[in-house]
Amino acid sequence: MNTVVIDFTHVIPYAVGFSLPIALLGALALYRLRGGSLTAALTVLALTPVAATLAGVLAVTRFMFDPMLTTVLVVCTAVAIVTVPAAVLLGRSIARRSVWEREARARERAAEASRRELVAWISHDLRTPLAGIRAMSEALADGVVFGPADVRAYATRIGRETNHLAGMVDDLFELSRITAGALQLSLSAVPLRDVISEAVEAENPAAERKGVHLRAARCDWPVVLGSDPELARVIRNLLSNAIRHTPARESVILSAGADEDEAWLRVDDGCGGIPTDELERVFDVGYRGTTARTPGTDQPAGAGLGLAIARGLVEAHRGRLTARNHGRGCRFEIRLPLATRRGDAGWAAGVIDSRR
């Protein structure tokens, strides 16, 4: 039996001398790719050991293609065929997960900052009416206020502040349902004409007090698939926001229509426009914008919840709510799915003519 004795003192220098440059090139490539594609980096990481091994084997055998070298080449090729696709798939998976984790952390930080800002604003907004209620109730209890007229005036102001507080609590409750995913909608065919008329009637006194012209355009009001109370809240929030930011003698106009399988509803105001970098932020919880948006108005700012609630309710209907500058002010546009015909002869392809 023949025994083959290998002199490792001659083999190792050849193997290291040829494989080391390949390893260094792989390390350099990884260094260059450190801020780039994770998939490419993992591919280089998988190929470098295979290429270094192959270089070392070729150096030791001095490129003499005997059966042993052929076997090693076949094995290295098979390893590369297996490891490179695996590295590509692993790199893509890790990259997606890394992007998702970064986005999740960014969302968490943004949500936490928004919550803290919201708590600070809500605390301030709650203290203001509470302080007024406390002062007026103490004045009534101490007999400082005399005469039925003054008592009625104080009672009216207390009632107004109480309604303000109740509205804020309702907004917070609605927002918590939206953010927690606990909002349950009972969808049915809702004629926008009815919802719009009720919202305009409810918000018109506030518009008249401020001298803002609130009107609905003459158009074909679509029938949408939605929940009547939630849609009414959305429209009232948009109208209230538009009236608050529109100066006197300007107009707030509602219009609606349909294209393909969607209905659209627009609220155009005369607020003077929103800075471009704030257009998307107006829907953030607690965001109130800059005072430049409301030229010539002394209306108190809201709690920064109305538009956030409106967008949450619209998205719960599988719709979209967007804002952009238009004309002398802003345009808030709602997109909702049209209702399908359900046997009502009064519906015409999901559209009701408001002139009937």
The answer on 230 and 193 residing in a single domain is: yes
Q: What is the pLDDT of residues 300-325, one digit of tens each?
A: 455 567 888 899 899 989 899 999 99
Q: Which residues of 219-230 are buried (b: 16+ CB within 10 A; e: fewer)?
A: bbbbbbbbbbeb
DSSP tag of 279: T
The better pLDDT of the pair 261, 38 is held by 261
Q: Does residue 1 fall inside a structural domain?
A: no
- Pair 263, 195: CB distance under 8 Å: no
**What global pTM score does this model have?**
0.57
* Count of helices and strands (H, E) across the chain: 7, 8
How many domains does the chain divide into?
3
The answer on 228 and 339 residing in a single domain is: yes
Q: Which of 179, 198, 231 is the last residue of a domain?
A: 179
The answer on 52 and 18 residing in a single domain is: yes
The answer on 39 and 17 residing in a single domain is: yes
pLDDT reading at 59 higher than 50: yes
Q: What is the pLDDT of residues 291-306, one digit of tens each?
A: 444 444 444 455 567 8
Q: Does residue 288 fall inside a structural domain?
A: yes
How far is residue 65's CA from residue 246's CA, in Å, rounded to a whole number?
A: 86
Q: What is the CATH number of the domain that holds 152?
A: 1.10.287.130
Q: Which of 179, 209, 231 is the last residue of a domain?
A: 179
Mean pLDDT along residues 220-233: 90
The answer on 343 and 204 residing in a single domain is: yes
CA terminus-to-terminus distance, the chain: 109
Q: Does residue 66 fall inside a structural domain?
A: yes
The answer on 295 and 348 residing in a single domain is: yes
Q: Does residue 106 fall inside a structural domain?
A: no
The answer on 248 and 141 residing in a single domain is: no
Q: What is the pLDDT of residues 121-173, one digit of tens each?
A: 677 677 778 888 888 888 888 888 778 888 888 888 888 888 878 877 887 77
Q: Does residue 109 fall inside a structural domain?
A: no
Q: Which of 125, 148, 179 is the last residue of a domain?
A: 179
The answer on 173 and 96 residing in a single domain is: no
Q: What is the CATH number of the domain that holds 226?
A: 3.30.565.10
Domain of residue 272, residue span: 188-353
Q: Is 189 left (phi over 0), alpha (psi -120 to 50) or beta?
A: beta
The answer on 328 and 251 residing in a single domain is: yes
